[in-house]
């Protein structure tokens, strides 16, 4: 569903189940195994919501009773592109929903001299321009890395309207900055936090997602 006042932002239904899952992963006392388990559940919901927005075309099949069923088929192929490293945590959720899906990777890190994001590595499917792309990164804070990664995709020929940016938590500032650059990219998220602190971390946030998923 769309959420106002953000155009092209699709927020998961804020059900008791979803809020409960976020309560667990936001809790600083949650163990790493539990953080991974419940984050994976949210990621699966995000992927399924992203799939809901892909275009389809009519397709009629015959059932085992030899009767027609008027259904639909997805139009075109998809792929996932994770922003290393935290975005890699979302790859398995995509694979759980889409068998044999292609996965690309983009590595962006902060330049120590300029403090700005810098592209270090990219590996993308050769036919990515013909695919719908799920861009994967758990957090959208300032938007710097997401903007650079999206720019890489567009330079490789992907149309903005074919990009779906999936993340667990956004900030309003990040949404505004990202959509100022790419208004036609759809954001699929589970939470919109109230802002950023002086260190540019999401508030209330959940800490460093990559550290909690991979290290602690």
Q: What DSSP string runs through 106-141?
A: EEEEE-TTT-SEEEEEEE--TTGGGEEEEEE-SEES
Alpha helices (runs of H) in the chain, residue ranges in sequence order: 16-26, 32-52, 91-97, 144-155, 172-181, 209-214
Is 151 one of the catalytic residues? Answer: no
Is 114 one of the catalytic residues? Answer: yes
Is 176 one of the catalytic residues? Answer: no
Q: Which tokens sit at 24?
A: 């667990």
Is 27 one of the catalytic residues? Answer: no
Strand 56-62 relative to strand 192-193, pairing: unpaired
Options 62, 70, 99, 114, the catalytic residue: 114
Options 110, 127, 151, 184, the catalytic residue: 110
Q: Which tokens sit at 49?
A: 């919501």
Residues recognised as catalytic: 110, 114, 208, 211
């Amino acid at each position: 569903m769309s959420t106002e006042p953000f155009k092209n932002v699709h927020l998961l239904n804020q059900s008791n189940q979803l809020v409960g899952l976020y309560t667990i992963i936001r809790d600083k006392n949650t163990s790493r195994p539990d953080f991974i388990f419940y984050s994976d559940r949210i990621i699966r919901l995000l992927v399924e919501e992203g799939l809901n927005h892909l275009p389809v075309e009519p397709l009629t099949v015959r059932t085992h009773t030899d009767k027609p069923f008027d259904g639909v088929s997805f139009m075109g192929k998809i792929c996932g592109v994770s922003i290393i490293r935290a975005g890699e945590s979302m790859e398995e959720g995509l694979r759980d929903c889409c068998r044999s899906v292609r996965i690309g990777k983009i590595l962006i890190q902060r330049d120590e001299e300029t403090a700005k994001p810098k592209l270090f590595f990219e590996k993308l499917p050769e036919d990515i321009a013909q695919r719908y792309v799920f861009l994967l990164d758990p957090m959208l804070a300032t938007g710097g890395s997401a903007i650079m990664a999206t720019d890489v995709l567009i330079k490789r020929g992907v149309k903005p309207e074919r990009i779906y940016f999936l993340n667990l938590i956004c900030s309003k500032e990040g949404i505004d900055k990202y959509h100022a650059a790419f208004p036609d990219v759809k954001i699929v998220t589970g939470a919109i936090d109230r802002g950023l602190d002086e260190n540019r971390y999401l508030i209330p946030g959940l800490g460093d997602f990559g550290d909690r998923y991979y290290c602690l």
